[in-house]
């Protein structure tokens, strides 16, 4: 195990007087004999690595080597996919000429407390099939500039490392002691410092949401609610706005997913949530709609309903590479139903491409993005 640890000071974001640091990004698809090679344009101090479960063991070995031989700070997170378009066999590298700040972390064993297993940095002991698919909260949180922050869920890595999730950080020699250095984590919060990406970030969101109502119809306003439960809309049963919707009913499929945008009173900013239950069915008896548990509804909130059809749920994005270059891009990738031979092709190196995808989605500045195919690009 590697010991050593993090800086105990901060720098101020958002000031035009702070000089911008340098970064270098690339993604490697179908890597053969993967070797971490630092960029030539500057001497890097830190490296952020996103990897798919297919490559995690290569990345573990290489990250330890680069940390020890080049004294580079490393943060590694295993996610479901990398760019482009939910690719399941690759590695994304982000090199920086400054250290990232390790804000907070949670040990995997603090959440996954199976006492029959040995928990270490990189245990490979397998677990029972029943335990393999247990869901635990995971998050790799990256602070970008000012208050901008991305939170990305991790992949299940039981069949790669024996752990429900795999994420860790390694500090350079001589750093002050940092809790959880070199340990397997389920939550890690870092901040990229020194104004690397500028002070005013612009992001683009794409999704597959189909509106269930026309824009000129009567606005939908919450008139009765509690927590994340919608009881009444416009003074009527909340469920009738779905059970009576022709677009939705014409599909006649329980695989159709329903989402909504929620606008707080006097706000133009939309929060995004999923409708997770409606009394057990989309019928007349289902009077109450339950949405994502983190939602906090209030009377007077305005709603817009959308759907994703069953076919769209399992379709990968087809974003052109040029739209992904010089961005940080994150995806909610469709659930993978079977292993694909597509991910065994020739090795490719994609310059200026960095990002990752999760089946469980991600959030950006507190806004959830959890629908299949949803994509957010932050322009650099």
Per-residue pLDDT of the chain (380 residues; tens, 9 = 90+): 433 333 232 332 233 333 457 899 999 999 999 999 999 999 999 999 999 999 999 999 999 999 999 999 999 999 999 999 999 999 999 999 999 999 999 999 999 865 444 444 554 444 444 555 578 999 999 999 778 999 999 999 999 999 999 999 999 999 988 999 999 999 999 999 877 887 778 899 999 999 999 989 999 999 999 999 999 999 999 998 898 899 998 888 888 999 999 999 888 899 999 999 875 555 444 589 999 999 999 999 999 999 998 888 889 999 999 999 999 999 999 988 766 666 778 999 999 999 999 999 999 999 999 999 999 999 98
Residue 11: C-alpha distances to residues 17, 18, 54 (Å) = 12, 9, 36
User: Tokens 């009444």 map to which residue?
Assistant: 232
Same domain, 280 and 186: no
Rounded CA separation 24/42 (Å): 9
Same domain, 135 and 267: no
- 15 lies in a domain? no
Token output for 234: 């416009």
Say if residues 98 and 194 touch (Cβ distance below 8 Å). Answer: yes
- 13 lies in a domain? no
Same domain, 308 and 320: no
Residue 68's contacts (CB-CB under 8 Å, 6 or more residues apart) are 2
- 53 lies in a domain? yes
Q: Of 312, 342, 358, at which residue does a domain stop?
A: 312
Same domain, 50 and 183: yes
Residue 253: C-alpha distances to residues 214, 221, 286, 355 (Å) = 22, 27, 17, 33
- 146 lies in a domain? yes
Rounded CA separation 23/95 (Å): 5
Helix (H) or strand (E) holding 307: strand 302-308
Same domain, 127 and 112: yes
Token output for 55: 């490559």
- 262 lies in a domain? yes
Same domain, 143 and 101: yes
- Strands 270-277, 362-364: parallel, antiparallel or unpaired by DSSP? unpaired
Say if residues 155 and 136 touch (Cβ distance below 8 Å). Answer: no
Domain of 343, in residue numbers: 23-205+316-379
Token output for 311: 């076919």
What is the model's pTM? 0.85
Same domain, 77 and 196: yes
Same domain, 135 and 230: no
- 14 lies in a domain? no
Determine whether 153 is exposed, middle or buried from the number of CB atoms within 10 Å of its CB (0-12, 13-18, 19+).
Answer: buried
Q: What is the pLDDT of residue 336?
A: 81
Rounded CA separation 46/99 (Å): 5
User: Tokens 């694909």 map to which residue?
Assistant: 340
Rounded CA separation 314/14 (Å): 40
Alpha helices (runs of H) in 222-358, residue ranges in sequence order: 240-243, 246-251, 310-313, 321-324
Q: Of 296, 312, 328, at which residue does a domain stop?
A: 312
- 9 lies in a domain? no
Residue 35: C-alpha distances to residues 22, 63, 201, 346 (Å) = 22, 9, 32, 16
Q: Of 290, 312, 334, at which residue does a domain stop?
A: 312
Token output for 75: 């943060």
Same domain, 192 and 101: yes
Same domain, 201 and 299: no
Q: How many domains is the chain partitioned into structurally?
A: 2
Rounded CA separation 19/194 (Å): 7
Same domain, 51 and 71: yes
Q: What is the pLDDT of residue 3?
A: 33
Same domain, 47 and 139: yes
What number of residues does the chain have? 380
- 2 lies in a domain? no
């Amino acid at each position: 195990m590697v010991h050593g640890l993090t800086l105990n000071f901060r720098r101020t974001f958002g000031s035009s007087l702070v000089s911008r640091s340098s970064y270098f990004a690339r993604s490697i698809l179908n890597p053969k004999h993967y070797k971490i090679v630092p960029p030539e344009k500057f001497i890097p101090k830190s490296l952020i690595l996103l990897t798919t479960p297919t490559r995690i063991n290569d990345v573990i070995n290489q990250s330890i080597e680069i940390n020890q031989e080049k004294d580079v700070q490393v943060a590694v997170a295993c996610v479901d996919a990398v760019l482009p378009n939910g690719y399941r066999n690759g590695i994304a590298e982000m090199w920086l000429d400054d250290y990232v700040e390790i804000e907070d972390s949670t040990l995997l064993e603090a959440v996954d407390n199976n006492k029959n297993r040995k928990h270490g940095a990189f245990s490979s002991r397998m677990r029972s099939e029943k335990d393999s698919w247990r869901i635990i909260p995971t998050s790799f949180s990256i602070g970008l500039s000012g208050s901008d922050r991305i939170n990305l869920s991790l992949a299940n890595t039981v069949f790669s490392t024996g752990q429900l999730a795999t994420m860790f950080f390694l500090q350079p020699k001589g750093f002050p002691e940092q809790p959880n250095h070199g340990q397997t984590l389920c939550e890690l919060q870092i901040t990229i410092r020194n104004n690397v990406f500028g002070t005013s970030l612009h992001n683009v969101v794409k999704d597959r949401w189909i509106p269930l109502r026309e824009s000129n119809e009567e606005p939908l306003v919450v008139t009765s609610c509690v927590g994340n439960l919608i009881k009444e809309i416009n003074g009527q049963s909340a469920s009738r706005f779905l059970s009576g919707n022709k677009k939705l009913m014409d599909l006649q499929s329980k695989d159709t997913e329903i989402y909504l945008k929620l606008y707080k009173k006097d706000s133009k900013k939309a929060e995004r949530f999923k409708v997770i239950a409606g009394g057990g069915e989309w019928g007349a008896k289902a009077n109450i709609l339950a949405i994502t548990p983190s939602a906090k509804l209030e009377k007077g909130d305005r709603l817009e309903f959308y759907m994703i059809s069953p076919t769209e749920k399992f379709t990968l994005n087809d974003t052109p590479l040029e739209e992904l270059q010089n961005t940080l891009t994150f995806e909610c990738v469709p659930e993978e139903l079977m292993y694909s031979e597509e991910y065994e092709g020739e090795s490719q190196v994609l310059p200026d491409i960095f990002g990752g995808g999760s089946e469980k989605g991600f959030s950006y500045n507190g806004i959830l993005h959890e629908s299949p195919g949803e994509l957010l690009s932050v322009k650099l």
